[in-house]
Structure formats: C-alpha cells, structure tokens
C-alpha cells in the first residue's frame, strides 16, 4: 500500500546483498548476543570485546585483509581539519523511493537509481553519486548499536545512505567493487525527541518482520533523516557488509539525530529469520570496529565542541 509523501522542513539541494551473503557465508543465523564492545554512550571498554559477536563476523573470510576497512573509531586527535572540504550537496527525490525490505541482516529502503534525480555531490567527492539505498544498524539495547564510534562513544543506532559513482561506473554492482565507486553518509541516532519522519518508515515494519519480506513505501524523503548541522568527517573505507569492498568514501555527520526510545525498540521487532523458521531477533547487526591503520580522517569543521557529538 503506497503512503502519502511526507513533507520535510529543511529539504536540501538490495536483493544483491542477500545473494552475496548466502554466497560467502551461507544463511545468516542471528542471535541475541553480547556485543564485541561495551558502551553506554560513554567510553567503550574491553569488558565484552572478546565475547561472542554476530555469526557473520566469526568466519575468517569476514576479515579479508586490506588497508582501509570500516567501521572505525573516530578520534579528535586523528582527524585533521581540511579547509578545502566544501559543504556536501544533497538532493533527493521522494518519488524515487521503491520499497522497504528485511534483508535478513538489515532494514533497507531501496531507490530507483536509473537517473540522477536522487544523489549527492561536492564535499570530498569529485563526481556526483546516485542514491541506491539506505539502511540502519542497531543494538540489542539502547547502549550500543552504531558501527562507527566517536572517541570510543557508541550510539544506539546508525543510518547509512549508500550512493554510487554514476560517472565512472555503469551500475551499482560495478561501482561497489571499484575505486571511488561508493559514497556512504553515516548518521548517528541518539535517544531524545520523537522523529516524525522516521515514524512513517517504522509503521511499515510489521509488514516486513521476517527475512526477505518487502513492502511498498510511497514517496519518502531521505533528507528528513539528516541532521540540521552538516559538519562531517570523511575518510577512505570499505563496506561494512559483504563483499566488504574497500571502495567507499565515508561521510560521517558530526551531530546525531534524535529518536524516541520506542522508535529504537521498533527496530528490534524485526527478525533475522524467515517465516516458518525459529524466530531470532534482529539485533547487534554491526561489524566490529576496524583499525585506522595509516589513513587520515579529515573534518569539514575546525574546532571540536568539547568532545563527541552530544
């Protein structure tokens, strides 16, 4: 059932995933497990770092090597202000939204990427990039769930908006494994006021409770999910889901968006399991933190505001 378009103040100018997971790791089996890091929107500690993680990350193939894996812990001392970084230009067409689906690991919203109607440019990017999809990562409880952390601080959830370089590549599949192929915007979610734009999406979740289920999502404006403050960090990294290609320019907004506690809880009503299988709650669907190695994290802003985004 298509839904009416959602108005948004401050508007600014995939099935392939499941196949890759099955090909490299087999059918996912999620568990309500203790995370590999322990955070309470406060410094992460080693208390649970060596405990069990999601089965996706137990296989040696989940650590393929390389020099620019993601996600990372962003530290002020590791970031360098780059005055050449311009504001990121964001222009999304709500009508290009296709559907929302349960991938068996994520909640994902797909977009029509056959045109340049929805995309980003500027910032650290040399070319315009088209929006392919956005998805979320979250924890079993409100104290953790984000993939990236800031000064060892974790957030309850993280939104990723995935774009591909339509100038250099013919399609998303080619771009996903190619140099400068993808650009992903990361947005942290924190507990606070109810987020009305997010609520429209959450109302569809009962229709996609089980793995591989899909539902129509009428015109939806992704820019409503972006923070008002557009300061960001950027660094060269990788996908955090299979195939883990090191093809991503990450753009992480400094400030989080606020969501209500019951909205975070709604994510956890989804299941890793398919209809007819033993029910397994979809939680802790984030990749463990990866080393920064010799990479440089650049920032578009000059002065930190007394620590991590609050």
6 within 8 A of 200, measured Cβ to Cβ: yes
* Nearest-angstrom CA–CA distance, 184 and 130: 11
From the list 171, 185, 155, the residue with the least C-alpha distance to 259 is 155
Asked if 301 and 81 touch (Cβ cutoff 8 Å), the reply is yes
Cα separation, 31 vs 157, whole angstroms:
18
Averaged pLDDT for residues 36-40 = 41
Domain 15-297 has CATH 4.10.640.10: no
The SS3 call for residue 136 is strand
Q: What percent of the chain shows pLDDT beyond 90?
A: 74
Three-point CA angle 241, 242, 243, nearest 5°: 130
User: What does the pLDDT read at residue 27?
Assistant: 36
Measure the CA–CA gap between 201 and 208, rounded to whole angstroms: 11
**What pLDDT was estimated at residue 11?**
40
User: 255-291, pLDDT tens digit by residue?
Assistant: 999 999 999 999 999 999 999 999 999 999 999 999 9
Instruction: Please give the Cα distance from 78 to 112 (Å, whole number).
Output: 37
What integer pLDDT is reported at residue 17 of this predicted model? 42
Q: What Rg do the C-alpha atoms of the chain give, in angstroms?
A: 18
Instruction: Quote the Cα angle for 226-191-47, to 5°.
Output: 115
Q: What is the model's pLDDT at position 65?
A: 72
% residues pLDDT > 70 (the chain): 78
What's the pLDDT band for 42 if we cut at 50, 70, 90?
Answer: very low
How many beta carbons lie within 10 A of that of residue 8, not counting itself? 18
CA distances from 234 to 51, 71, 224, 257, 258 (A): 30, 12, 21, 18, 22
User: For residue 152, what pLDDT is reported?
Assistant: 96
Supply φ then ψ for residue 265, to 5 degrees: -65, -30
- The candidate with the shortest Cα–Cα distance to 38, out of 139, 126, 163, is 139
User: Strand (E) positions, 44-156?
Assistant: 73-74, 79-81, 88-91, 97-102, 107-111, 119-122, 129-138, 149-150
pLDDT, one tens digit per residue, over 197-244 is 999 999 999 999 999 999 999 899 999 999 999 999 999 999 999 899
Structure tokens at 135: 């998805």
The tens digit of pLDDT for each residue in 53-99 reads: 677 776 655 556 789 999 999 998 889 999 999 999 999 999 999 99
Residue pair 305/76 in contact (Cβ under 8 Å)? The answer is no
Name the token pair of 280: 């397994």
Would you call the peptide bond into 24 cis, given omega within 30 degrees of 0 as the criterion? no
- Any bridge partners for residue 248, and if so which? 182, 237
Q: Spell out the domain ranges in the chain.
A: 15-297
């Amino acid at each position: 059932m298509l839904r009416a378009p959602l108005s948004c103040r401050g508007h600014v100018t995939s099935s392939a995933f499941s196949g890759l997971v099955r090909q490299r790791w087999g059918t996912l089996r999620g568990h309500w497990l203790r995370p590999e890091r322990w955070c309470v929107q406060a410094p992460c500690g080693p208390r649970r770092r060596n405990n069990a993680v999601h089965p996706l990350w137990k296989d040696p193939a989940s650590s393929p090597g390389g020099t620019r894996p993601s996600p990372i812990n962003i530290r002020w001392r590791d970031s360098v202000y780059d005055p050449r970084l311009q504001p990121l230009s964001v222009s999304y067409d709500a009508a290009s939204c296709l559907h929302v689906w349960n991938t068996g690991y994520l909640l994902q919203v797909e977009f029509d990427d056959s045109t340049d109607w929805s995309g980003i440019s500027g910032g650290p990017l040399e070319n315009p990039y088209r929006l392919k999809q956005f998805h979320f990562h979250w924890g079993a409880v409100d104290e953790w769930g984000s993939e990236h952390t800031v000064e060892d601080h974790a957030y309850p959830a993280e939104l990723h908006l995935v774009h591909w370089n339509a100038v250099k590549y013919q399609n998303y599949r080619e771009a996903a494994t190619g140099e400068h192929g993808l650009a992903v915007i990361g947005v942290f979610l924190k507990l606070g006021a109810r987020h009305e734009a997010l609520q429209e999406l959450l109302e569809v979740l009962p229709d996609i409770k089980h793995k591989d289920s899909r539902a129509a999502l009428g015109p939806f404006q992704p820019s409503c999910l972006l923070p008002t403050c557009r300061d960001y960090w950027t660094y060269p990294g990788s996908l955090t889901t299979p195939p883990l290609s090191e093809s991503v320019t990450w753009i992480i907004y400094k400030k989080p968006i606020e969501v209500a506690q019951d909205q975070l809880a709604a994510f956890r009503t989804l299941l890793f399991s398919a209809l007819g299988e033993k029910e397994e709650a979809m939680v802790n669907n984030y990749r463990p933190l990866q080393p920064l190695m010799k990479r440089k994290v650049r920032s578009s802003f000059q002065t930190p505001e007394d620590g991590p985004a609050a």
